[in-house]
A and B are shown apart, each in its own frame.
Chain A
Amino acid sequence: MSATAPRTHFFSTGLRRALSSRIAATLAYPHGVDRYVEHFAPTFSLNEVRAEVTAVRYQTDDSVTMTLHPNGNWQGFRAGQYLRLTVEINGVRRTRCYSPANSVHAADGLIELTAKAHAGGFVSKHLQQDLQVGTTVGLSQAEGTFALPETRPSRVLLISGGSGITPVMAMLRTLCDEGHAGQITFLHYSNAAKDQIYAAELAEIAAKHPNVQLLRGYVEADQGGELSGLFGRAHLNDAVPDYAEAQTFLCGPPGMMKAVQQIWTDEGIAERLHLEHFTAAPVVVDSANAEGEVRFMRSERLAKNSGGTLLDQAEAAGLKPESGCRMGICHACTCRKTAGRVRDTRTGEISDAGEGDIQICISVPVGTVTLDL
């Protein structure tokens, strides 16, 4: 092993260098080197990040935890960041955002993602029901500013709800791997004990690390958690009285995030709160007041404004624009608007009427809008 490893490494770097040479590019023109090599090494790519699914396990009835072995193009991530995962379902590629839940120090270089199959979640349902070990998936590099700062804060409060646990799980595991000396509070909410992902591992970590305080809140009664009911100021006051001193990292459903944000804003400590939306607030489709039409210039289609997001309207018109998170995070759907005003579903902000790039998954037309799509 020790003798062959450097030789294998030498061979693979040499091969890689040859394959990325200009000569290889000319020989493989116009299709490119990847398009030849991928037929016998599906995860190989000169530039793209691809990964092989090496393990699939089920922590709860409605979730799936997958282990991915990324190719050499993966540059790693900062604990808390997300990536875009692309899978093919019935011949069609679908992209969604997931946050790795593993420690950034995992020695095997593997990525662990957990998805909850929620009602209407086309991709998460597929992952939960059909994902097979050995499947090749596409990945983006890690993205997002929600991450542990390089200089680790000494007092850390991690608050999460439901499957929003994954980015803060990565933070907790990373800090524990680093032998973090400061106090860490892990405050997590879920409906019931049977729905909670990472339950066993959290208990184990808390038992092993005296500086980790684990607080579990369950919405349903008699679940055995340290807290009961939804998040509220009382939980903070009773269980985490020094919360104002901590750097707090928050990821959960919209209602819970709003409640937490309110407290931090009221107390003037909002700069110590870092957050990640993992589900978009539901878009209120106001079809009654929708006016004008949506013009898809390049595809020469026209649709009456339905009041939904431009992404939904484009898809309803039979177009297949690129898209990813569908919640305004990943910018995969960014598209040129050549005329018209749009409303940002997250902020309610109305754009100007001129030309500009917009994220169509979180943009609702206000009157007639023309897209270069």
Chain B
Amino acid sequence: MTKKSLWRRLADSGLLLPIVSLLLVMAVNIVFDIVSGNNPFNFFMVTLQHTTSNGNVLYGRIIDVLNRGSEAAILAIGMTLVVSSSAGTDISVGSVMSLCASFCCMLLAGYGVSSTSTLAVPLIVGVLGGILMGALCGTFNGTLVAYFGIQPMVATLILYSAARAIGLLLCNDLIVYIRNGSFAFFGSFLGPIPTPIVITAVCIVVMSLLLRKSALGMYIQSVGINPRASRISGLNSRRIIFITYVICGLFAGIAGIVASSRITSADSNNIGLYLEMDAILAVALGGNSLGGGRFNLAGSIIGAYTIQAITTTLYALGVSTTQAPVFKAVIVILIVAMQSEPVKSYMKKRRLARTAKEGGAV
């Protein structure tokens, strides 16, 4: 009983494969470092480095993965809930990030101002405004999906194409620069730790607590598995689907602020570009079915960091930015195949055969 505990528990929770995938990517780093004669654990090395602007800060490949993967991880939280409740994806999150960044910067700089070092409104107003804009976008998506019954892909396609343009409209077609140190905080460092890592951690903790301390998690899964039966059992299926889209939008807002803060500007055309795809991929890599129903938040987050780890690894290996997507694709194929049903059942059969041969009880 005790012997099978950790391994079996991981396998039962569905986290085994996502973790193995992540470890695999890390193993590639180790092999690479050994081959090139570096310290084999270079990937995990964290050092304190002195910077002029932020003092002593943590530095290393793993820190880089955690830092750069923040936006995808934050988006993956909301995406997981949306996928679970509605068996669909919110493809607008990348564009919504951009809109939120634009709105936040517009508030901070004032309409029509392209560059400012003094804030037009208190920082908190701009930031909250940006996040609320995300929630507003989520409300729009959620209304279309939950109350109008429009397919998620179609409903979110609207903001996918429009949100960036709305952002440009808000910024009067300018790239707004906020040259004020306080705004840069969300993309730089809190003490020695990169702020995005802290923000992501807070997002994860808050969401986990909400799922654990309320029945929301069960409601979402129940509605995702069988909305009709859920309704008969007293759940308001539409409202629950709606809530997941609002949450998803909210997190897109937070991710937008982080992305914007990193470059201290609202670059409508580049913030969050293609990031919705990373978020969806993270959910899938996390072992979640895109068909909705049961979800595993931890899996999605591991998935998000796996994607970032792949990217960071490829750059470390010296693969050029233009070719990286090709290698990324190959790795993703491997990971997805590993989690596919035929491979899983083959592994299960082998395990059963092995235990049968050993004559031990299962």
A and B are interacting partners: no
